[in-house]
Amino acid sequence: MVERWIENPYWKYFSREKVFQTQKPFDPTEFIHFRNRIGKEGAEKLLKAPIQLFAKEAQAKEVLIDSTVQEKNIIYPTDAKLHKRIIERINKIAKQEGGAVRQVKHQCL
């Protein structure tokens, strides 16, 4: 995470850096020491703090979400998928018509 911070100017802006930094802001092992010091209960408090601070906003009836960057469950047709569907459909039609279907070594498409 610390190494990504160096590469990402948005993270730097979010953390209110005034000057563009090219070095790590701190040693990454400090995360481990901090996590060990606060323990599980401290981590729970940190996770609950924003919820408590913004409880009224959480009760909103309407929420605007920018979903343009969220992953969608859409499968776009690729040549391999289309070829597989064609082969399956041809085999189905051949069986219905009573035609002989050659035995072909199975290929992964």
Cβ 15 vs Cβ 8: under 8 Å: no
Is residue 49 domain-resident?
yes
Q: What is the DSSP string of 75-91?
A: ----HHHHHHHHHHHHH
Q: What confidence score (pLDDT) does residue 95 get?
A: 86
Q: What confidence score (pLDDT) does residue 51 get?
A: 84
Q: What pTM, to 2 d.p., does this model score?
A: 0.38
CA distance 24 to 12: 11
Is residue 88 domain-resident?
no
Is residue 96 domain-resident?
no
Is residue 89 domain-resident?
no
Instruction: Count CA atoms within 13 Å of residue 47 on its CB side.
Output: 8
- Given a cut of 60, whether residue 84 has pLDDT beyond it is yes
12, with CB counted inside 10 A (0-12, 13-18, 19+), is middle
Mean pLDDT computed over 86-108: 77
Is residue 83 domain-resident?
no
Tell me the pLDDT tens digit for each residue of 14-72.
888 877 777 887 788 888 899 999 999 999 999 899 888 887 776 777 777 777 776 77
Please count the structural domains in the chain.
Answer: 1
Is residue 69 domain-resident?
no
CA distance 38 to 54: 23
Tokens standing for residue 28: 């990454």
Tell me the pLDDT tens digit for each residue of 6-15.
778 887 778 8
Q: What confidence score (pLDDT) does residue 37 get?
A: 94
Q: Which domain holds residue 49?
A: 2-58
Question: How many other CB atoms are there within 10 angstroms of residue 15's CB atom?
Answer: 10
Is residue 71 domain-resident?
no
**H or E element at residue 95:** helix 79-97
Is residue 68 domain-resident?
no
